[in-house]
Amino acid sequence: MPPIHILIVDDDHSQRTLMRLLVLLSYPTAIVAEAPDGQTALTSYEADGADLIITDIQMPILDGIALTIAVRARNRALPIIVVSGTSDGEALACDAGASRYLNKTVLAAQLPQVLADVLAA
């Protein structure tokens, strides 16, 4: 079985690094790509694909909600986890088609289980 390909999208480098580490702790053979904004992520997804996208909501150029909508127009089944440091993002993420939503305050504690859930589906 080939390694899973995960695209992490966040304008904060330290958040991308944290998510990368959390992903690799659970899936050591995963191929992890990173993007600092939704437009770069969309270009990367169109060029290389992905088995899962983890995206922040608030980013410059193209935010995580717009990215989720754009990816959903291309692939209805791709798991997309939307993360945010604000409490009002869950409804927006779900309406856009996110598979799951995580608040950044619980990211380290909950991301491993959420990864297992969405990748098993």
CB 84 within 8 Å of CB 58: yes
DSSP category for residue 76: S
- Measured between alpha carbons, how far is 19 from 32 in angstroms, rounded to an integer? 10
Residue 8 — φ and ψ, nearest 5°?
A: -105, 130
pLDDT at site 56: 96
pLDDT at site 1: 65
The H or E element spanning position 80 is strand 80-84
pLDDT at site 106: 87
Q: Per-residue pLDDT tens, the chain, 121 aa: give them.
A: 688 999 999 999 999 999 999 999 999 999 999 999 999 999 999 999 999 999 999 999 999 999 999 999 999 999 999 999 887 888 999 999 999 999 988 888 999 999 999 998 6
CA dihedral sign of residues 94, 49, 32, 8: negative
CB 23 within 8 Å of CB 32: yes
Domains of the chain and any CATH numbers: 5-120 (3.40.50.2300)
- Measured between alpha carbons, how far is 27 from 41 in angstroms, rounded to an integer? 21
Q: Considering the entire predicted model, what is its pTM?
A: 0.95
DSSP string, 10-64: -S-HHHHHHHHHHHHHH-TT-EEEEESSHHHHHHHHHHH--SEEEEES--SSS-H
